[in-house]
Every structure is written in C-alpha cells, then in structure tokens.
Structure 1
Amino acid sequence: MPRRDVEFQTTDHVTLRGWFFTPEKTDKKLPCLVMAHGWSAVKEMDLDAFAEHFTSHLAITCLVYDNRAFGASDAAPNEPRYEIIPSLQQSDYSDAITYAQTLDEVNPERIGIWGSSYSGGHVLFVGAVDRRVKTVMSQVPLTNGWENFHRLIRPDIVPTMNKMFADDRQARAQGKGAGVIPVVDADPMKPSALPTPDSYTFFAEWEKKSGWKNECTIRSVELLRANDPSHMISRISPTPLLMTVAENDVLTPTDISIEAFSRAREPKTLHIIPGGHFDGYTGSNFERNARRQVRFLEETLCA
C-alpha cells in the first residue's frame, strides 16, 4: 500500500514523525485511523503490518507515528529521551487527529484511534475526552496502572522500587540526568519495566532488527503506576469501542482488562484472542486479530 513519511507538531511544539498509509486508489476523502505503539515500542514493530492490512482491505487511511522521545520523533527541549508521560502521549493523540484532519485524503469528520498495550489504555482516555473520535480500538490495553504494577511487582520488591523513584526525584532536583531502567531483562527477577518472559522475548527479537533501545526512564515506571485510563471508559459511549484481549495475558492481565470493559457502555465489542500479550502481532493470530478489527471498522468508521 502507498506510504509516505510525515511529521507534525504537538501543542507544545514537539515534532512527531511517522507514516501515512492510503489504499492503492484514493479518489475521495476517506476515514483515517490514528495509530501509535505501546510501552517504548517504535512504529517499525508491526504497526506497518496493521496499517497495510487495514488499507488493503478497506477504503481507509492510517496515520502511524512514533511517540515523543522514541523512534523518529523528537523529545521536548531539555527533556530526556525514552521517557513515557501518559498525559502527554494522550495529548499527542489529539494533536495527531488535528494533523490528520488537514490531509487532503482524509475526511475530517471520520477519525478513529487505535492503540495497543500502553497506548491501548491511552485511547480509552482520548476516546472519552476528544469527541472528534468516531471509533476506539483498544488492543491488549493497560487499563489500570496501579493494579497492573502490583500484579507484576512482588510485594517485597515494592519498597525497593519506591526508594528508586524517590532517589530519582532527588537526583533530578539536583540537576542530574534522568535515571534509567531496562525495559526488559532476560532474568525476570532483575529490575525492569516489563518483568515478564514474553516481554523479553518480544523486545529482544526487535532489538536485533530495529532501532528500538532497551531503556526507559525510572520516572516512566513511577507514572505507569499512577496511570488509570479506565476511569474514563464509561464516558466513551456513544462512540463505538472494540477491546481486544488476549486470553492468557500476564503483562496487562486478562481479568483486569475484562473488568474495565464491563464498565464501558454500549456500543461496545469484546474480542478475546488466543495466546498472550504479544501473540496478536504475528502469524495466524495476527490474521484472526486483524480480520476482526477490519470487520469492526467496516461496521463503524467505514460504514
């Protein structure tokens, strides 16, 4: 499918970069799906596969971009790279919508949003507060950071994490650089942001073949614990919501996502796919996952 490089400015003047996908033939203004990746991931990590699938099966465009401070996108001046601030990433979705509305190929009244994992939670918030959004697609989302953090981190390790957060705040206040932590580690008992074996397998493979870096700031993990996008989920309605949940997800646990979904109002659709958190990105599970997402788009954004 045709794809071109794009860039746009956020409201705080940060340049975000990505790709704009269109079908082979575009003779009228089409709906647009705005897409960003999850925790520390970059657009090359299968977002192109989803966008190409959507634009080859539907009369739709896709705007795919790297989150600020990751991949091809800039960080804010004097701010560190590899820092993940949920409120800013949520705001960036709305700025991406504004940019998409300026594109010649896009119908500005038909914008949807797609997010996966951490950004799967972001779209729940954005879909509630930005009423330009006509469709919300949330894949294996982090819906409640507090519950998720305390599910992943053993209680006896939490005090060590709290000290790490406090020490990082003190260091920053003294003018030192942001403290960092690995995103993943081969040993799930060592400190990392995503301490599950399947997280290590997924990211270690991408580290070999992309520009992804195994690093995020300590502050990012502290802010993850405070991030609760599910408190807005009941306010998405009447915008249609599709939540895709993996039946054996141990990174953003299945039951936490389903509980959040239960609080959403109609119209809403729950799609449970086999496997774990990362299994919807590739192989036969990708086909099953993407096929259901195409049908949802046919019934909503592209109707």
Structure 2
Amino acid sequence: MESVRFKNRTWDVAADLRLPEDFDPARKYPAIICAHPISSCKEQTAGAVYAEGLTKLGYVTLAFDASHQGESGGEPRFLEDPATRVEDFRCAVDHLVTLDYVDEERIGVVGVCGGGGYAAQATMTDHRIKALATVVGANYGRLMREGDLTPDAAITALEAIGRQRTAEARGAEPVTTGYIPGSAEERAQAGLTDIDIAEAVDYYTTERGQHPNSPNKLRFSGLEAAFAFDAFHLAEVLLTQPLQIVIGDVPGAFGSYRDGFELFDRARSAKKDLFVVQGASHYDLYDQPKFTGPALERLGSFFAANL
C-alpha cells in the first residue's frame, strides 16, 4: 500500500493506493476507486475491507479521504459538502489516468453508505467511470431532509443553520457537532434505539472501527447544501453504466435498504443487479466477514464482467 495525494481544486486529497500481489508495472490493470461512508475515513471499511478485498482479486484500488476530512486538505475542516464530495471522485479518476499501469477504459467505483450515494452521482457525470457498485448506499440528502420525521424538521434545521451562519459572519466561533452520539451512554440517554444508530455508535466509537481520522466532527454551519442534494437525481437519464447494488435485509433509520431499491428502479443502466445479503444489517456490511464475504464475492464477479 502506498500513500498518495492528488488535487481537488487547490488542496490535496489523501488516498491509499493498493497494488495487486505480483504487481508488474509493465502491465495494464483495472482500477477501482473506493469511497468511505459519511463521517468515515479511508482506513475504515472502504479501505480496510473493500479496497483490501478487491486488491486481492487483482485490482488496483484507490481509497481516499473526503475533502475537508481525514488526512485530506480543504478549509473549513469537518465540512460535509455534497458537491465537493462528488468532485473528489472525478479528481480520483484524474489521478488514475496518469498512472501508466492503469487501464483508463477499466475504471470502476464502489462506495459504502453515503459514499455509495456520492459514487452514483459522480458516475452519472463522469463516464470515464465504467462500472458502479454500492454497498448499503445511502442518499445523504434524503436522510437530511427526513430529519427526525417530524413535520417541517428540515425547515427547522435550516433556520437554525441560518442563524449560526449569521452569527459566524458577525464574528462568532463556528459550531462543531457530531454525526452520531459520542458513546453508547450518550445514545441511551438520548433514547435512540434504532439499529443503525446503535450499530453506528458501536462501530465508530469503540475498538471495532474507531480511527483518529474519523473524529465524529461536523461543521454545523456548512450543512445547508445537503438538504437540497439528491444523490440519485437524473439516474434515469444519465446513469447508463453497469450497476451492482449490495444491501442487507435488516432495515434501519439510515434507509440504505429502500435507497438500494430506489437506485435500482431509477437507474437507466441496461445491466444492473441488486444483491440482498440475508440477515445483514447496515453495519454488518462494514466489517463482519460473514456478510462482507458474500458482498465481496458479488463485487468481484460484477467487476470481472464489466471492467
């Protein structure tokens, strides 16, 4: 594995480049960009599980930290900006096509959770990407709009964000919040019992998946754009590449189960498949071998047929 950097606008995006065993620089290899979930980093599921597994199958893989997050540059820090997240993919392709050992006609992407939604949007507008796969892919904009499912929750949130931006414009310090509760105790005190939230806390705040580049920090005043974002917008028009969707059949609040069906139905792709891993929750497909094993097997078959 090699640590690399590539540009998005004026800052560096940090990435881990993995090369197959017995790598020969004189050969041409298919390459797969691996995108992490919302709040995650390249060292967690996207890199350690999916990039690692696909590299073992013979692919060059590139797992990157989103701009403004992890080891990547970009100010302000801890920003979750959909347009920039999508541009990260295009910049990753720009980097891969400069590598002599990458076959530019065989570049694919796989995105996990929110990274899957961003990957779908990027694939629609960058047809250098020849095949798209999502693992528990989620539409971040839809999740933000739903909020806590109370009437006008999104409007209430946008009004609060607006007040904070006004305060910051007048000199106040930025507010950094968290994506999820910071511990199981905080989650219990908040009365949050949904399986996705419970397992998110378990994955991100314990030794199971915890990593310093995933600090559970989110810039509150930068959230407006997410409310109007639709990761699947124009999929029925622009998404023509082969598509593989992987979901678990245990639904939770983050909505990847229904988002998987929505993307499958909306995609224009002539070749598309939806693979449901039986008994798997959203976070089981992050790191549990019983479930990631079948997912990687399906991804391997898909990319072998389409790259």
1:201-220 matches, within 5 Å, as: 201-205=202-206, 209-211=210-212, 212-220=214-222
CA distance in 2, matches of 1:235, 1:115: 21
CA RMSD, 1 decimal: 2.5
Question: Deviations for 1:44-92, whole angstroms, at most 9, x for unmatched residues?
Answer: 11222222211212x32001111112211112xxx32111100011011
Alignment of 1:32-51 (within 5 A): 32-46=31-45, 47-51=47-51
Q: Does 1:285 find its partner at 2:301? A: no
In 2, the alpha carbon distance for the partners of 1:221 and 1:188 equals 26
1:152 deviates by 4.6
CA distance in 2: counterparts of 1:106 and 1:191, whole angstroms: 49
Aligned residues with identical type, % of pairs:
23
Structure 1 counterpart of 2:161, from 144, 165, 173: 165
1:188 and 1:136, CA in 2 relative to 1: closer, same or farther beyond 3 A?
Answer: farther
| Segments ≥4 residues shifted beyond 4 Å | 188-192, 206-209
- The question of whether the paired residues in 2 share the 8 Å contact of 1:101 and 1:108 is answered with yes
Residue correspondence of structure 1 range 1-303 to structure 2 within 5 A:
3-10=1-8, 12-27=9-24, 28-46=27-45, 47-57=47-57, 59-75=58-74, 79-143=75-139, 145-146=141-142, 148-155=143-150, 158=153, 160-185=156-181, 186-187=186-187, 190=190, 196-205=197-206, 209-211=210-212, 212-250=214-252, 251-265=254-268, 266-273=270-277, 274-282=279-287, 283-301=289-307
SS at match of 1:6: strand
The residue type paired with residue 254 of structure 1 is Y
TM-score (norm 2): 0.87
Tell me the amino acid that sits aligned with residue 4 of structure 2. Answer: V
**Mapped partners of 2:35, 2:163: distance in 1:** 31
Range 221-230 or range 93-102, more displaced: 221-230
Q: Is the 8 A contact 1:26 1:105 kept in 2?
A: no
Q: Please give the TM-score of this superposition, normalised by the length of structure 1.
A: 0.88
Runs (5+) with no aligned partner, structure 2: none
Instruction: Give the secondary-structure state (helix, strand or coil) at the position aligned to 1:33.
Output: strand
Unaligned runs of 5+ in 1: none
Cα deviation for residue 130 of structure 1 reads 0.6
Shift of 1:174: 1.9
Contact 2:114–2:140 (8 Å) recurs in 1: no
